[in-house]
Structure 1
Amino acid sequence: MRTALVALGALCAVLHAEATSPALGLRERVLSRLMVADFSKLPTVVQPRAQTERVPLLQARRSNFTPVVLMHGLGDAGSNPGMEQLARTVSDAYPGKVSLAVNVSNGFLSYITPMQAQVDEFAATVRADPRLAGGFDAVGLSQGGIIVRAYVEQYNDPPVRNLIGVSGVMNGVFNCPLMMQIIPFVCEIYETDPYALDFILGFSEYFVLSQNKSLYLSGNPFLPALNGQTTVNETYKRNFESLNSVTLGMALNDTVVYPKESEQFGGYAWGTKDTVFTMRQADFYESNSFGLRTLDEAGKVSMVQYEGDHLRFSDAWWNANILPRLAG
């Protein structure tokens, strides 16, 4: 299992290489402060743990199940034990069902690869697997949630039938996660211009600077486009509206995604850094700019939650709330 210490140590190496190029004040400043930061206090990057509870058999074996694709989160990998075990729970519950935890921007690459490139890699991966040609259900964990959401809007070929987010950053992040607050200067940069860091940190592209809407709209190349907050893309909207269902799982005690309501398309109100809005209060919901309201009004959006921190759901919760949604 990778730790945030290993990941940020590698980040120092990247920044050192950047600093040898023509001088850029921000890069040099980040480098100099990273070199003296105390990474020993950083906790392990949160990953789903391996299941220990027996998985229920939900349907008899058959050959025509819809496949399932799981996309990992930040710092994780499809080949890690927790992700592989989650994939196995699906095939255990539905014998004969194809269930894959894909290896896309694994480990440290999930930090430094631009979000659009990660979406493109996900698309190339699922398109290369003939078992998925007829469509699949997608489960995105943490950062994987916004990756599979973006795939639906931008590609959806092969099509996603049911979209599930588990602590998925569906509407981005609005504040530094607890693990990053241990190196405060990174948070200082995020509070002023997070998009200046997109040359090294992919997750800058789903950071929402709620105190400065104009900078968010002009500086963030990724999330505003998905939300239709700059220009409404009719293809994105049509693809999202084609989903059979959307399930949004939120961790009630999340210390990684701020606010936790982002996992259900909420966030912080413009001009504030702590006033929470929920999905139906969002500007993109009211304008129906990418089809979220269409699905919700059709009864196709479900919200579930669990006690615990980021991705620290129980086996029983997964078996009761996620596995039944992957039938068919």
Structure 2
Amino acid sequence: MARLRTLFTALTLSSLTHAYIAPISTPSTHIANNDDDDNSDTPLPLIIWHGLGDNYAADGLASVASLAETVNPGTLTYIIRLDDTASGDRSATFFGNITLQIEQVCEELAAHPILSTAPAVDALGFSQGGQLLRGYIERCNFPPVRSLVTFGSQHNGISEFQSCSATDWLCKGAQGILRSNTWSSFVQSRLVPAQYFRDPTQMEAYLEHSNFLADINNERVLKNQTYKKNLEKLERFVMYTFEDDTTVIPKETGWFSEVNGTEVTLLRDRAIYKEDWLGLRTLDEKGALKFEVTGGGHMTLDGELLAKVFSENYGVYGRPFDGQKETDYPREKEL
């Protein structure tokens, strides 16, 4: 077991820098958001869940929190942590049972003296933190989330683990173990990325053994209506993909798209949308579902982009949102 854990570490650490958020600078031309009807109101708290290899104490996340307060003065920002130490929190992004991790976050947010008394909170998910936040919303949602924005998240799973260089035999060995043992109870209860692995050519094994994603996406025969009802309560669900993302495979997963070989099936053409398993069609019909693309590779973020996100999607409780309905996805060639 110790050697297996070592191999897992070798595989996942090679992707560390791709999910790690670099410090964000505040745009020099940015002006605080003063468009709300009652500017004396305090903005809703903002909860942030970081991605693989990052940790709650990282400078990049601190700069994101600072920018959120600059854009919407008075914002309380809460960065989710799964351990009190930065190293332990970082380790939990690789190793752990996602179901238990979400239960822990549900309990901690519900017990928080400020978050638990707010009328709602806003949420920001980076990479795998996006689908974990969605799991929080579907499974407990207290305090309730008003706006969810995700960047480069794996909402429809990943079909490949981190690739290896030609001479990295340790990485290749780890990848071989992951591929041959993906659906074992050991891997599905301990390796975080394996719990949102979803290969369209292995759907029978995925539906039977997936510890997290098959459940949270309501893909099994028995649908959890609580998941659907909770997600439908969102006033805003914005999904960003990165134009040049080569870390997340397939990158279209950030929009719930299904990719099988070279064939891409967009969300609106899938049963998960048409039959409204999760409430995504309901959100779309009320103008709450947004599909966005930004340039660069995985987790390529800058202050201008985040300031726009904070201004348009967060702020005081009861603020109006642009209700214009998205009628088309950005063209595939733009991804």
Q: With structure 1 as the length reference, what TM-score do the two structures score?
A: 0.82
Aligned residues: 297
Indicate the SS of the match to 1:130. Answer: coil
1:11-69 deviation per Cα after TM superposition (whole angstroms, max 9, x unaligned) = xxxx32xxxxxxxxxxx6x46x939x799977635311111233531128634321111
Could you tell me which residue of structure 2 aligns to residue 93 of structure 1? Answer: 71
Cα 1:176–1:321 change in 2 (3 A) is: same
Cα 1:306–1:39 change in 2 (3 A) is: closer
On the 8 A contact 1:59/1:95 being kept in 2, the answer is no
Q: What letter is aligned with 1:217?
A: L
Could you tell me which residue of structure 1 aligns to residue 196 of structure 2? Answer: 206
Could you tell me which residue of structure 2 aligns to residue 56 of structure 1? Answer: 31
Could you tell me which residue of structure 1 aligns to residue 323 of structure 2? Answer: none
CA distance in 1, matches of 2:91, 2:165: 15
On the 8 A contact 2:13/2:53 being kept in 1, the answer is no
1:154 aligns with 2:131: no
Segments of structure 2 that go 5 or more residues without pairing to the other structure are: 84-88, 317-335
1:103 aligns with 2:81: yes
1:125 aligns with 2:113: no
Indicate the SS of the match to 2:304. Answer: helix
CA distance in 2, matches of 1:57, 1:177: 39
Could you tell me which residue of structure 1 aligns to residue 217 of structure 2? Answer: 227
Superposed displacement of residue 240, structure 1:
0.7
Could you tell me which residue of structure 2 aligns to residue 167 of structure 1? Answer: 152
CA distance in 2, matches of 1:168, 1:143: 5
Indicate the SS of the match to 1:111. Answer: coil
Cα 1:39–1:253 change in 2 (3 A) is: closer
Alignment partner of 1:44 out of 11, 14, 17: 17
CA distance in 1, matches of 2:307, 2:12: 36
Could you say which structure has the greater relative contact order, defined with CA pairs below 8 angstroms and 6 or more residues apart? 2
CA distance in 2, matches of 1:291, 1:178: 34
1:246 aligns with 2:237: yes
Q: With structure 2 as the length reference, what TM-score do the two structures score?
A: 0.81
Within 5 A, what are the aligned runs for 1:1-328?
15-16=1-2, 30=4, 34=7, 44-54=17-27, 55-59=30-34, 62-104=40-82, 106-133=89-116, 134-178=119-163, 183-196=171-184, 197-230=187-220, 231-269=222-260, 273-328=261-316
Indicate the SS of the match to 2:211. Answer: coil
CA distance in 1, matches of 2:292, 2:96: 30
On the 8 A contact 2:12/2:162 being kept in 1, the answer is no
Percent identical pairs in the alignment equals 24
Cα 1:113–1:237 change in 2 (3 A) is: same
Indicate the SS of the match to 2:52. Answer: coil
Cα 1:180–1:65 change in 2 (3 A) is: farther
